[in-house]
A and B are shown apart, each in its own frame.
Chain A
Amino acid sequence: MGAGFVSLRGVNKFFDDVHAVANLDLDVHAGEFFSMLGPSGSGKTTVLRLIAGFESASTGSISIESQDVTELAPFDRPVNTVFQDYALFPHMSIQENVEYGLRTRKVPRPERAKQALEAIDSVKLSHLAQRLPHQLSGGQRQRIALARALVLRPKVLLLDEPLGALDKQLREEMQVELKRIQREAGITFIFVTHDQEEAMRMSDRIAVFNAGAIEQIGTPQQVYEKPESTFVARFLGVSNVFSDQVAQEIFGSPATVNIRPERIKLVAPSTKPKADERGVVGTIIESSYIGANTIFLIQTESGQRVIATRLNEELPDQVNRFVTGDRVGAVWKSDHSAVIPT
């Protein structure tokens, strides 16, 4: 196994009795946008803090660009962090905040002012350089936190749920902005989030965390289309997971199988599935129109529930081809389902 740009080997972290990170191996490539995705308490933020140096690993080693940093303090590591609630210093102006890291590195005053103002300009907030953090909006503070970290030209930028406190529209703007900055600066980004859509939207690769361990690492397509565990299948988007007896009935084998709702087509109940298709027959017990899609909840005679999502390609008054109470066939192509290894 080749060492990554950021590399964790056999890392464990205990907080008293809590095993927050369990025997973790992780390699992040140079220049990649890497996301750590998982529910709260899954250990993703702890891993980020271990890489930053705010926490020290109970066992194991961490290296950045082949240099062992396991024993180094945060101020000696070539990484910088953007914090969840920005962590701007409330008593310093925006410019002083951005200059802070340059100041601790003894950059001469005129030079650090120049670099700080450039960084503030790069996030388009030059006009606010002399304000105090509390005079800025959440989105503006977020940009300053980013400028403050990037002005130090880190080899790796760590982002701890940086968009969590922003409203939806601003968050989507910042997602595009972050991706652009990452591409242009060519810096490795390690991004912590619990929002699967956000992770898929921005990442080159995603590590899905559960209970202090990584369940799966892969590109957004890999983790979504070929989940390697039921947890991953359920955490990323909506899924239909068939197992045991139900799988036996549908597929003729008891394997655990995942099929995404948007892969399921609705047909008349009498329609026979084709050779390359599988399907079930059931009754629509709920249908919800949500703009772009309609979500159907179908229940088979044996009680199994299937969720199907159909694009509303027709005009709203024409989409109600199937309504609650209709008996329908739910079919999908065999190669659209994914067997989850157990």
Chain B
Amino acid sequence: MSAHTTQGGTKPISSYLYKRAKVRLIGLIGLPMFWIVGVYIFSLFLLLITAFWFVDPFTSKVIVGFTLENFISIFTVPAYISTSIRTLLIALAVTGVCVIFAVPLGIYMAKIARPWVRNTLAVAITLPLWAGYLVKIIAMRLVFTEEGFFNWALAPLGISGPTFSIPIVILTLTYLWFPYMALPVFTAIRQIPPNLFDASSDMGAKGFTTIYRIVLPLIVPAIIAGSVFTFSLSLGDYLVAKFTGGSTQMIGSIIASNINLNPPVAAAFSMVPIAFVVIYLMVARRTGSLERM
């Protein structure tokens, strides 16, 4: 074996890059930046442009031009307004239900459960992610359908089970997106030092006070992170409403029904969930709960 030489180095590419920080940086983030800007942002930008086009009423062909009609219709057509509000409320309800389930579960898993129980629950929470999205919706549909489990189980009592409606949509969406709330919340609670619970109790606080005054403020960032998923995924969903909502319409339903008939209206409507999420994040920021950490 020959001795290593210091002159020039033994690895020409590494030596070249060592002296050129900018080249290294491009090598590091070039590919992801292409993905984010070139594919992701660009396609959203095209969508935004499409929203200003319109459809020729006679030929049903898309005309490239400029009109605000599509956006105006979102705010003027009563069915569109009520659908937007309904979708917003459903998404908020899903997020709320997820938080109500995730916090006590997270406290139990992180601070009380023995390791094997904790691991079992962690698997149980992530289990729904293993199954396909459509599979889970159909599963919920089968449970609540007219010949489904609830009607069968409640029939001897003379009661009929819940029918496809907004509550079932909320339940199904919660079922779909709960892992995205439960996991960050669990992780955040796990990071709370155990002696903060002792200290709170030492100073006279009972369980509920400790959750409200210590745990919740400390996991706000995790709840916001989780709610971005539960909220935005619920806003954009339409198959759940279609299969388990009965006549329930969501923003996604309108987009889906217009996507072939009137792409510019669909494009304009696609901006509504995005606007909701942006407003939601701005509100979260304004409360200051993200900074006091």
**Interfacial residues, chain A to chain B (CB-CB below 8 A):** 49, 52-54, 73-75, 79-81, 83-85, 87, 89-91, 100-101, 104-105, 132, 148-149, 152
- Name B residues whose Cβ lies closer than 8 Å to a Cβ of A: 193, 195-196, 198-206, 209, 213-214, 217-218, 292-293
Residues on B with C-beta less than 8 A from A132 are 292
Q: Assuming A73-B201, A75-B204, A148-B203, what are 17 further A-B pairs, CB within 8 angstroms?
A: A49-B198, A54-B201, A73-B206, A75-B202, A75-B205, A81-B199, A83-B195, A84-B195, A87-B196, A89-B196, A89-B214, A91-B217, A100-B200, A104-B205, A105-B204, A132-B292, A152-B204
Q: Which residues of B contact A152 (CB under 8 A)?
A: 203-204
Q: How far is the CA of A84 from the CA of B195 in the complex (A)?
A: 9
Interface residue from B198, B206, B214 paired with A81 (Cβ < 8 Å)? B198
When the two chains form their complex, are residues B214 and A104 in contact, meaning their CB atoms are under 8 A apart?
Answer: no
Tell me which of B196, B200, B202 has the highest count of chain A C-beta atoms within 10 A of its own C-beta: B202
Q: Which residues of A contact B202 (CB under 8 A)?
A: 52, 54, 74-75, 79-81, 149
Contacts of B293 in A (CB 8 A): 90-91
- The one of B199, B205, B206 that contacts A87, using a Cβ cutoff of 8 Å: B199
* A55 to B, closest residue via Cβ: B198
Q: Is the CB–CB distance between B198 and A75 below 8 Å?
A: no
Of B203, B217, B218, which contacts A101 at CB under 8 A? B203
Closest chain A residue to B213 by CB distance?
Answer: A100
The dominant DSSP class at the B interface is helix
Cβ–Cβ < 8 Å partners of A148 in chain B: 203
| B201-A87 in contact (CB<8A) | no
Contact status B218-A90, CB under 8 Å = yes
Question: Closest approach, in angstroms, between the C-beta of B207 and any C-beta of chain A?
Answer: 9
B203 touching A100, Cβ below 8 Å: yes
Q: B201–A75 contact, CB under 8 A?
A: yes
Q: Which residues of the other chain, A, contact B203 by a CB distance below 8 angstroms? A: 75, 80, 100-101, 104, 148, 152
User: Please, which residue of chain B has its CB at the minimum distance from the CB of A154?
Assistant: B202
How far does the alpha carbon of A105 sit from the alpha carbon of B199 in the complex, in Å? 14
Please measure, in the bound complex, the distance between the C-alpha atom of A89 and the C-alpha atom of B217, giving whole angstroms.
10
Known: A90-B293, A148-B203. A104 touches B209 (CB 8 A): yes
What distance in Å separates the Cβ of B217 from its nearest Cβ neighbour in chain A? 5
Q: What separation, in Å, do the CA atoms of A148 and B195 have in the docked complex?
A: 15
A87 close to B292 (CB less than 8 A): no
Query: Can you list 21 A-B contacts (CB < 8 A)?
Result: A53-B201, A74-B198, A75-B202, A75-B204, A75-B206, A79-B202, A80-B203, A83-B195, A83-B198, A85-B193, A87-B193, A87-B195, A87-B196, A89-B196, A89-B214, A91-B217, A100-B203, A100-B205, A104-B204, A104-B205, A148-B203
